[in-house]
């Protein structure tokens, strides 16, 4: 069965530190890839997505992610985090050509210290 792994369950950083959150998936075919963010007390919203083309995608609020097909990875990065980035981050994958159901990772809680 397809799965999505987010290796870091809880990350604590100081402001201005660099961030990289890992995401790996298990599916050998074509995928659509997403990162969603859930700020405290709010609902999920899209941070960025990759369907095709340039494997380095840029999202809102200075986030970017790189799709590395050979590693089945879609890691999220930000060069300098802010306190307002405190949130839970979810990687999600749609394996195309199967049942096209989206599969979410278990999430990474990011806490930024002011």
Partner 1 sequence: NAGVTQTPKFQVLKTGQSMTLQCAQDMNHNSMYWYRQDPGMGLRLIYYSASEGTTDKGEVPNGYNVSRLNKREFSLRLESAAPSQTSVYFCASSEARAEETQYFGPGTRLLVL
Report the interface residues with partner 1, using CB under 8 A.
9, 32, 34, 36, 42-46, 49, 90, 94, 96, 100-102, 104-107
Residue 15 C-beta: closest distance to partner 1, Å: 26
Q: Give first-to-last CA distance, the chain, whole Å.
A: 41
Work out the number of other CB atoms within 10 angstroms of the CB of residue 42: 9
Residue 46 C-beta: closest distance to partner 1, Å: 5
Give the residue with the Cβ less far from partner 1, 70 or 96.
96
Give the residue with the Cβ less far from partner 1, 70 or 99.
99
Work out the number of other CB atoms within 10 angstroms of the CB of residue 103: 17
Give the residue with the Cβ less far from partner 1, 2 or 73.
2
Residue 80 C-beta: closest distance to partner 1, Å: 26
Rounded CA-CA distance 36/45 in Å is 5
Of 77, 92, 83, give the one whose Cα is nearest residue 113. 83
């Amino acid at each position: 069965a397809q799965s999505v792994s987010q290796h870091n369950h809880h990350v604590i950083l100081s402001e201005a530190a660099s961030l990289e959150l890992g995401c790996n998936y298990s599916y050998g075919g074509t995928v659509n890839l997403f990162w969603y963010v859930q700020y405290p007390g709010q609902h999920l919203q899209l941070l960025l997505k990759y369907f095709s083309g340039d494997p380095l995608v840029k999202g809102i609020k200075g986030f970017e992610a790189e799709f590395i097909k050979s590693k089945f990875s879609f890691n999220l990065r930000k060069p300098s985090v802010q306190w307002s980035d405190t949130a839970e981050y979810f990687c999600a994958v749609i394996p195309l050509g199967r049942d096209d159901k989206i599969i979410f990772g278990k999430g990474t809680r990011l806490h930024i210290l002011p």
